[in-house]
Chains A and B, each alone.
Chain A
Amino acid sequence: MAARVFIGAGAGFAGDRSDAGGPVADALAAADGLRFLIYETLAERTLALCQLERRKDPARGYSPALERMLTPVLARCLADNIKVIGNFGAANPLAAARRIGAFAKSLGLRAPRIAVIEGDDLSGRLSAAEFAAREVDGTTLAEARDVISANVYLGAGPIAQALDQGADIVVTGRVADSALALGPLLHAFHWRADDWDRLAAGTLAGHLLECGAQVTGGYFADPGYKDVPGLAEVGYPIAEVDDDGSMTITKPAGSGGVVDRLTVTEQLLYEIHDPSAYLAPDVVLDLSAVEVAELGKDRVRVTGARGKPAPDTLKATVCVEGGVLGEAEISYAGPNAAARAQLAAGIIVERLRQRAPALRVHVDAIGATSILGSSERPPDLRAAQSDIRLRFAAQSADSAQVTLLLDEVEALYCAGPAGGAGVRRHLTPRLASASCLIDRRYATPRVTMIGGAA
């Protein structure tokens, strides 16, 4: 049994930095214990887009971040026996594993033993109506005909199983983000499946790591109030976890950023609703008694996670067509800019009311009302300065209606108020997503090993 387990995070979302994992892998290589490097790269939208890609080409459909994320770390991890666990398999974990195998070969590395975890994909298992009946907190699926992607959040068990079988790299599709860390801990410490407090602690470790730099000074700095040294080269986190479930959060020596009571506490509550009941596939995590203590520079000890039995159902994310989003912007500057912008906004609203009455047109004045305003409240430009950028947005299943809005904004150049400038317009296909609660029997995790020495 391992004395201490070191888990580093190389990425916290699909758009994260690709060079962040390098210093984490270097720090792990020097650590005395079992070492793991985890990657969370799978937004709801990413998975749906990957599913569409797989339909076109069965050899694709894995995360586009795969190669750029692994490039800086793969040689080091294989050389120093740092296991890599990532959900970059997306809609096609098997294809991702093959891609990694080919990539390792092209770099002249030894052939890694790669575990593929599948069984999260529910598309075709339930109809759109059956998903709609299981939707929570919404009615997004009520009128949907086609399901683009439907994936249930798997737990840590299959990841632990893959590591037990000697995987160097574990490639998953949709798993609970926290399972990326709980899996290695189950593998290392052989925690029982009903040892709720330890499972809760492992889930907490995953929760603190899963957003990368958000626990080491990212999404935190506020100059003069919350200063973060070296944020441009912020170090990504490492959790040192003991068999009793206690953990220390830290980051590579010499990296930028900060780990202290405040960075850890903010991340502890990130995306949490009821802190006494954070639902994960393997356990319900209770954060009420968690304590956070600074041990020294950039070392914070976290204790007190408590667990309750795993929920009866699993969460699934279902994505369906969401129509088209259109956005168009135009600027007004200099004397009387606010009055000209107000006039332009009024013209667009009036013309669209006549020509596309069903379309809801959202208007922002960037810098004045764009962020803290609300669709329910028309922009009030009285407080705005003499440089105003109007933004119009609308969404519809009928792209012609949305295009009409963009055309109308562009026409302000010649037919609107004086000095309208810098029109930019975009049409973006949208995906709508919904959460469903799914009976556990629909989750059918399976582990397949490819490559490596048999």
Chain B
Amino acid sequence: MSREVRLHEVANARSGDKGNRLNIALVCRDPQHYAALAAQVTAERVAQVFAARKPTRVVRYDLPKLAAFNFVLDNVLEGGVNASLGLDGHGKSLSFLLLDMPIIIG
């Protein structure tokens, strides 16, 4: 039976930064959820989640052998760790913004 959950219930995420570019690795805790995430956690939806930070480009790379995805978001770190006026110039907490996304799993 399918149900709606937050990504946090079924997946891990880890943020990394390079300058003003953020990547978020999203890893299925159970590889059986890979197809559901592939269909629903699209680059377009991730761009919507981060709309307040105005990403200029969002790309998703698929890694089926790892049951994982890598999202790369350009220009979302307010200049990055050496320029941001915010507290989290690395974007380390932003993986949890992604994990708040609702998805439907079987």
* A residues adjacent to B (C-beta < 8 A): 44-45, 137-138, 140, 219-220, 225-226, 262, 265-276, 287-292, 304, 322, 325, 360, 362, 364, 366, 370-377, 391, 393-395, 430-435
Contact = CB atoms under 8 A, between A and B. Distances in A.
Nearest to A323: B83
B70 A272 contact: yes
B78 A269 contact: no
A364 B25 contact: no
A433 B78 contact: no
Contact of B86 (A44, A287, A364, A434): A364
A44 B54 CA distance: 26
Contacts of A430: 82-83
Contact of A271 (B12, B18, B54): B18
B104 interface: no
A274 to B, nearest CB: 6
B8 interface: yes
Residue of A262, A274, A366 with most chain B CB atoms under a 10 A cut-off: A262
28 contacts: A137-B20, A138-B19, A138-B20, A140-B83, A219-B14, A225-B8, A226-B12, A265-B25, A265-B27, A265-B67, A265-B68, A269-B14, A272-B25, A272-B70, A273-B21, A273-B70, A273-B72, A274-B61, A275-B61, A275-B63, A276-B61, A287-B63, A291-B65, A322-B82, A362-B85, A371-B86, A393-B85, A434-B19
A137 B87 contact: no
Given A288-B63, A322-B83, A393-B85, A372 B17 contact: no
Nearest to B13: A266
Interface of B: 8-9, 12, 14, 16-21, 23, 25, 27, 29, 52-54, 61, 63, 65-68, 70, 72, 78, 82-83, 85-88, 92-94, 96-97
Contact of B52 (A377, A391, A432): A377
A69 B7 CA distance: 39
B41 to A, nearest CB: 15
B12 to A, nearest CB: 6
Contacts of A362: 85-86
Contacts of B20: 137-138
Nearest to B75: A137
A366 B87 CA distance: 9
B88 A262 contact: no
Contacts of A137: 19-21
A373 B16 contact: no
Contacts of B78: 374-375
A301 B30 CA distance: 19
B65 A304 contact: yes
A432 B14 CA distance: 25
Residue of B12, B14, B67, B96 with most chain A CB atoms under a 10 A cut-off: B14
A267 B12 CA distance: 11
Given A269-B63, A290-B66, A45 B23 contact: no
B54 to A, nearest CB: 7
A371 B83 contact: no
A274 B17 CA distance: 13
A374 B52 contact: yes
B83 A432 contact: yes
A371 B21 CA distance: 17
A449 B35 CA distance: 55
Given A362-B86, A393-B85, A262 B29 contact: yes
Residue of A290, A374, A393 with most chain B CB atoms under a 10 A cut-off: A374
Report the 10 A-B pairs with minimum CB-CB distance, sorted nearest first: A269-B25, A271-B16, A362-B85, A266-B14, A393-B85, A374-B52, A270-B16, A371-B93, A265-B27, A433-B82
Given A269-B68, A371-B87, A431 B82 contact: yes
Contact of A289 (B65, B68, B83): B65
